[in-house]
A and B are shown apart, each in its own frame.
Chain A
Amino acid sequence: MSDLASLSISEIRTGLDSKKFSCIELTKACIDRADRLNSLNCFTQLSPESAVREAEYADTLLARGERSNLLGVPIGIKDVICTKGTFTTAGSNMLKNFKAPYDATVVRRLKAAGAISIGKLNMDEFAMGSSNENSAFGPVRNPWNPEYVPGGSSGGSAAAVAAKICPITLGTDTGGSIRQPASFCGIVGLKPTYGRVSRYGVIAYASSLDQVGAFASNVRDCALVTKALCGVDVNDATSVDKEVPDFERVLGASIKGLRVGIPKEYFVPGLDSHVSDAVRKALSVLEELGAIPVEISLPHTEAAVSVYYILAPAEASSNLARYDGIRYGHRAKGSLELKDLYSKSRSEGFGAEVQRRILIGTYVLSTGYYDAYYLKAQKVRTLIAKDFSNAFAQHCDLIVSPTAPTTAFKIGEKVSDPMQMYLNDIFTIPVNLAGLPGMSIPCGFDGKGLPIGLQLIGKPWDEETLFGVASAYETATDWHTRRPEIAG
């Protein structure tokens, strides 16, 4: 039965709807597999009991003849997204014992669509990291080679899908935290346009950048789940009331005549040659399918990492001020004065990277430095967004680039040099700064057998073009069918 865990949504649909297997059998297969691949450390917590209960209910509905895309489909949820009744830790000791009193809107939407949550996924603490080494629950391992990182911050979400533990997982992406791990793990991951998906019930990191999205092992599955996630929410003032297209409709459509922008600033020294070759080959596949490659320039690309590591920590230092040890979260022991209670609770609760970002954020917002750093970064952010809008207005319908400059690196390799770690996000960060939709799809392997990701960047609200191009590319190639040895 364990092979059930590796089915796609359409295979699950056929199996459940024709009673070849039950939702209980499917759910148990996923949980068994998660248990067996425990050494990858994908989950902070499995919820076998509630999952089986939800699966029983799904089986009743199926028996009654109910049918819908996600009915009975097992999913995993990044542990930064609130789920009622189970722990929501954000990968932090600060929230080790925190039980959210309600489900996040995205969780409600998926449950309302019939999905079964099997557990919460490991991540970099408070979504701060590019390797999943910053988790209070230990690093996640890459299913393609357990000595390597799965990427971050949604490392558990990407590794669980790559290891075929469940077909769908949710992640969040502030500077690349969906796309980079999707790239490192050889799967599909989409960060929708800023404002597309509600963040009600999602623990905040940098609110002007955070967005929720889905991981899947193929483009169609990702499209189905994304459709279920999107839409305005009265409980999130930054969600936007835009019609949600039927992303499934564009799958398989011709991409003839579509102009594909190739930013010259993304092909620079420091880009791994395997990555560069794979992306160039992917571009020629798109050209064979009728797309027209156009070289474009995004002149402010190099500034994006600086802008991000000013703005995101600034927002984080403010968002994380709420963890005071009083209302929820870790509280230091002993009878302490108020200020010491705050400081002790926060220092005991937060890990090193989170503390570092709070300090950077405090610095760039402090009197005397605000204009030089924070305000300057906000202005350069405008220029970065303009680079994209100019390119889309004049030259291209979407932009294609590598997702990350390298493939996965070894666990421990970059921990001693945070700046090197930050530079890993160089191609994903600009997309968040401009609020655009971005997707990573598998496009090859390096000499060590580690996956390479292709990033597709769209106009605001144009996820459709990304799904269309990704689906055309997927049909013409077989990268998405490869699976790590560990996934049998």
Chain B
Amino acid sequence: MISEDDIKKLASLARLELDPAFAPTLTEHINSIIGYMERLNDIDTAGAEPMSHVHGATNVLREDAVQPAGSVPDSSALGTPTISAQEMLPAEALLDNVPDHSGRFIRVPLIVE
């Protein structure tokens, strides 16, 4: 049985701020879900390897070479899709989505006093 305090602790680990009004229902739901999962204990898994990937994926490696930051390729009708190489996005294209930045620097709260 997972208590409301346990849920609060999990929320803190997952960096979520729980709405106190919502905590009892959430605790009830999570208990019902985890309770349902406990039926897995009835299954004999002796000899079964844990599966993390269906086709037994292997690492795909490439040369660790410096690549110039490119421009974002444009898709266009009847062109060849540009998917032949690992692409580098220009910093400006990424900075557009940063909620708070100053020039090329991302602004964050003070971390080290």
Contacts and interface: CB of A to CB of B under 8 A. Distances in A.
A336 B109 CA distance: 7
Given A108-B82, A112-B78, A418 B17 contact: no
B79 interface: yes
A105 B87 CA distance: 12
A346 B16 contact: yes
Nearest to B85: A234
A380 B48 contact: yes
B58 to A, nearest CB: 9
B57 A238 contact: yes
Given A101-B89, A306-B40, A327 B32 contact: no
B108 A342 contact: no
B111 A338 contact: yes
Contacts of A381: 50-51
Contacts of B22: 352
Given A58-B77, A360-B33, A342 B86 contact: no
A359 B7 contact: yes
Contact of A363 (B18, B30, B96, B100): B30
B11 to A, nearest CB: 6
B97 interface: yes
Contacts of B78: 61, 66, 68, 71, 112-114
B80 interface: yes
Nearest to B96: A99
A238 B53 CA distance: 9
A264 to B, nearest CB: 18
Contacts of B77: 54, 57-58, 61, 71, 111-112, 114
B93 interface: yes
Nearest to A436: B54
B67 interface: no
B75 A84 contact: yes
Contact of A366 (B13, B39, B84): B13
Interface string A307-344: 10110000001000100111111110001111111111
A346 B78 CA distance: 40
Q: How large is the interface on A (under 10, 10 to 19, 20 to 34, 35 or more residues)?
A: 35 or more
Interface in B13-56: 13-19, 22, 26, 29-30, 32-34, 36-37, 39-41, 43, 45, 48-55
A37 interface: no
A300 B51 CA distance: 15
A347 B23 CA distance: 13
B49 A382 contact: yes
Contacts of B33: 309, 360, 418-419, 422
A208 B52 contact: yes
Interface in A337-369: 337-344, 346-347, 350, 352, 355-356, 358-363, 366
B83 A233 contact: yes
B69 to A, nearest CB: 12
A102 B89 CA distance: 8
A61 B78 CA distance: 9
A234 B61 CA distance: 10
B95 to A, nearest CB: 10
A406 to B, nearest CB: 19
A240 B51 CA distance: 18
Contacts of A113: 78
A101 B99 contact: no
Nearest to B11: A359
A326 B106 contact: yes
Interface string B88-111: 010001101111100000101101
A253 interface: no
A328 B55 contact: no
Given A57-B77, A300-B43, A309-B37, A385 B54 contact: yes
A368 B31 CA distance: 17
A124 B101 CA distance: 30
Contacts of A109: 81, 83
B39 A362 contact: no
A101 B97 contact: yes
A317 B51 contact: no
A422 B30 CA distance: 13
A445 interface: no
7 contacts: A105-B83, A235-B86, A330-B99, A331-B99, A362-B13, A383-B48, A385-B54
Nearest 9 pairs of A and B residues by beta carbon: A435-B54, A378-B50, A331-B99, A101-B93, A108-B81, A328-B97, A379-B45, A111-B75, A237-B60
Interface of A: 54, 57-58, 61, 66, 68, 71, 84, 98-99, 101-103, 105, 107-109, 111-114, 194-195, 198, 200, 208, 233-235, 237-238, 240, 300, 302-303, 305-307, 309-310, 317, 321, 324-331, 335-344, 346-347, 350, 352, 355-356, 358-363, 366, 372-373, 375-383, 385, 418-419, 422, 434-435, 460
Given A240-B55, A363-B34, 20 more contacts: A101-B94, A109-B83, A114-B77, A195-B55, A234-B85, A234-B86, A238-B53, A306-B37, A307-B40, A310-B37, A310-B40, A327-B106, A330-B99, A335-B109, A355-B26, A363-B10, A366-B10, A418-B32, A434-B54, A435-B54
